[in-house]
Amino acid sequence: MAGVVVAVGLIAGPGRARATLGELEATVDHDRVVLSMERAPPAARGGVVVHELGKPTVSVREFEGPSGRVFAVAWAGLARPDLAALMGSYHAAYRAAASARRTGRGPRRVEAADVVVETWGHGRDLHGRAWVPSLVPPGANLDDVR
C-alpha cells in the first residue's frame, strides 16, 4: 500500500458507531467499512501495533499502543480520506485550529488542545498524520507514524 493513516472508532449515539482517533482497536474494522477499504493483518513494531487499511487510491494506518487505544493515524494517496470519520471527536478542534491558521501552500502543522495534525504533498500525492499527544506510549517514535 502506498500511504498511511491511523484512526479508530467511537460510539457517537445509540447504535451508531463512528470511527474516532483515541478509541479502542476494535473500532479499526468499523473504519474499514466506513472508508470502503481492505484490511491487512496487523503488524507489531516495537511495542506498537499497526493496522493498515487501503484501496487503490489511498492507504491509512492506525497505530495502537499497549493500552489498546489508537494513538495516531496516518494516510497517503491520491486524495485525503474522510478525516471527520478518522478523527471523530478530535475533528472539530482540528478544523477550528486549522481555520484560524490559514498559511497557504506547503506542509502544514496544526496543533489543537488535544490533537496534532500534519499534512503535506501536492496534487495527487497527499499525505498526513494525526496523533493525540496524551495517548502516545512511552518509547513510541512519532517519526514512524507515516
Please check the confidence at residue 120 and state whether its pLDDT lies above 50. Answer: yes
Determine if the pTM surpasses 0.75: yes
Confidence (pLDDT) at 24 = 81
Quick check: 138 pLDDT over 50? Answer: yes
Report residue 15's pLDDT band, with 50, 70 and 90 as the boundaries: very low
In whole angstroms, what is the distance from residue 73 CA to residue 35 CA?
A: 14
pLDDT band, residue 71 (cuts 50/70/90) = very high
Give residue 22's pLDDT: 85
Judged against a pLDDT cut of 90, whether residue 85 lies above it is answered with: no
What H or E segment, with its residue span, contains residue 61?
A: strand 58-64
At residue 106 the predicted structure's pLDDT band, cuts being 50, 70 and 90, is low
End-to-end CA separation in angstroms for the chain: 12
Q: What is the mean pLDDT of residues 99-122?
A: 83
Element (H, E) at 30: helix 28-34
Strand pairing category for 70-77 and 125-131? antiparallel
Which residue bears the cell 447504535? 15
Mean pLDDT value of segment 77-101 = 88
Q: How many CB atoms lie within 10 A of CB 138?
A: 7
Mean pLDDT on 103-124: 85
